[in-house]
Amino acid sequence: MLPLDRYPKEITLRDGACVTFRPMVREDVAPLWDFFKRISPEDRMYLREDVAKRVEVERWARDLDYDAVLPILAFCGGFVVGDATLHRNRTGWKQRVGTVRILISPDFRHRGLGTAMIRELRHLGEKASLHYLLAEVIEEQQAAVRAFEKLGFERMSVLRNYVNDQKGNLHNLVVLLYPMSDADEEVLY
């Protein structure tokens, strides 16, 4: 279990706005649902799950398991303005690889929140003794790709026509990898 005593954590964005990070709790269904309703249909189209259905957010809240998926929410003025998750496998061949996902409210983009949330996920990855963080981004989401690359994630591959959006259209998937500090020290043969 990751130590969560650093939360709630307050940060100040480039424009002076104050944002609070904390793990999602079961009572966050309404504010998180409100957050997803503010995301444009074009942006929601690229998400892995259909967050246009409140039942998805209710399921996430009901099934919270921080050891498998740790959702960190960003709040400003009582509203969720960002959602970042660290997904981990407890066993198996990818148990030292954490998958990160991030979504920022349209009115909080280009203000430094995405960068701060990626940094927070990197910190959590270090605390979880992960060797790598993996981000998968639809190629059209260039701002997200640049944000990950700016923070040290390396573009490992582009998988052509690999994923489809919620309308069934195919898209290229950019796979980015961040090696944690001790990943190179432990080589298995």
Model confidence over 42-71: pLDDT tens digits? 888 778 788 888 999 999 999 999 999 999
For the CA atoms of 127, 131, 137, 141, what is the dihedral angle to 10 degrees?
60
Total residues belonging to the chain:
189
For the CA atoms of 151, 119, 24, 93, what is the dihedral angle to 10 degrees?
70
What is the rounded CA–CA span in Å between residue 85 and residue 117?
Answer: 9
Sign of CA dihedral 95, 175, 13, 39: negative
> Among candidates 87, 97, 177, which has minimal Cα distance to 129?
97
Report the Cα 64 to chain-centroid distance in Å: 15
What is the rounded CA–CA span in Å between residue 35 and residue 30?
Answer: 9
Instruction: Walk along the chain (189 residues) in steps of 10 and give the mean pLDDT of each run.
Output: 90 97 97 93 80 90 95 97 94 91 94 96 94 95 93 96 88 96 52
Say what the pLDDT of residue 124 is: 95
Say what the pLDDT of residue 162 is: 94
Q: Domains, the chain, ranges and CATH? A: 9-179 (3.40.630.30)
pLDDT digits (tens, 9 = 90+) for 19-29: 999 999 999 99
- Residue in the block written with tokens 């921080």: 66
